[in-house]
Structure 1
Amino acid sequence: MKFGVVVFPGSNCDRDMLDALQYDLNQEVVALWHKSEDLSAFSTEDCIILPGGFSYGDYLRCGAIARFSPIMQQVIAFANRGGKVYGVCNGFQILCESGLLPGALLRNERQQYICKNIFLKADGFYKDAIAGDADVFQEVYKIPVAHGEGRYYADAATLDQLKANGQIIFRYCDENGKETSASNPNGAIDNIAGITNEGRNVFGMMPHPERACSAVLGNEDGKKILTSLLMAKQLVP
């Protein structure tokens, strides 16, 4: 599997993702400039990643301008062919703006930027897929968040569909795995921290697993998430 990390003007987590994939997970990875319109080097067995940051300065809305970058038309086509696409933080926002994922990311409930470690747990089809893998599955993961507009929202019909299809893949929780309002850092509906599309090949999440991939940093929970989410064959039908 090969990874491509899209770099938008204002991206500031692209290097974090590139380094985590190359040095912590020993994967082939290349940076892709946002003006590129060529993804011919990537097959549907590969993965395109939209990293965190402040693409285009977060003008209008987070991800609203990046959605119209030249490369995004190719990313959308790649996803529609069945290729894996993964967005973290600002990347999640771009995926929702582009229609690759349902719902929207709104300003945090308390209107404050949040930067800290939080706890989350796997859910939906993703939990079922990795539950038997002791190398990557654990009840609770500690992962950093850093965002001002991370409050996931979807209308009632969309939320019901996400639940019915097992498309909610991460929820905020406390260190014991309990979902509470106190463990929800941004007020996201139903404590939702990450979702997937119906085809289970497009994934978005607000927490930053790429920042928790090294023993030197004292946390490798993110490495487990990236390994299972991006490389597990059983996740894509």
Structure 2
Amino acid sequence: MRTLTFSIKVFIFLFVVNLQAQKTSKKETPKDSVVYKTGYGLRLGIDLSKPGLSFIDKSYTGFEIVGDYRVSKNWYIAGEIGREEEITFEDFTTSTSKGNYIRLGANLNTYTNWLDMNNEVYVGGRYGLAIFEHTLNNFTPNISTGNPDIPIIFPNSPVNTPVSESGLTAHWFEFQIGIKVETFKNLFIGFHGAYKIGLSIDDQENFKTLYAPGFNRVFESNTGFGFNYTISYLIPFVNK
């Protein structure tokens, strides 16, 4: 009988201790409150496609610095600054355009990152400005008789005296779609494509500008296309 009484008392004691331990455990176990923070700061890099194109195409040289600054969860102030020189070969003309440009605007990140990821799939807009010099290196003049039934004649005697005009400007707007992927901590690889709409592009006297730095090839509709392939590094000022 004593043994049974003792066993009951031990069982009650262990039950109470176990119950108290469970209550204590519930009180001490915090909720899952892990917050993943990402860096807010200045991201700077270069466009790798321009040195690559310069290596492949000897008629082109260019360099571009890219950057952005994160102002909120999904918005970035962004821009590019660079210099280009392009020799354009046509059937009866050869021309050179060289100068500096800047593009300023913003990007909106449309990608929802998991946990501590910091990648982007973005859309963006830019206003672009270029100040450049355009040179008509050589051209083959045409001769017209004024008779629409007689075709224009291009003699085989090109004019090789260059004609240059400096202080030309180009203004445009462009729409961008791109991605940025964090490959290592704060190191990003990116790519974007752009559709450009010329607002105002100066021509040198008696010759249409065929290439504007930062705008690229100028088509008849004053539109153009562009792309870049970048590597950049984030300098985080604060984590949020």
Taking structure 2 as the reference length, the TM-score comes to 0.24
Q: Which has the larger radius of gyration?
A: 2
Higher strand share: 2
Taking structure 1 as the reference length, the TM-score comes to 0.25
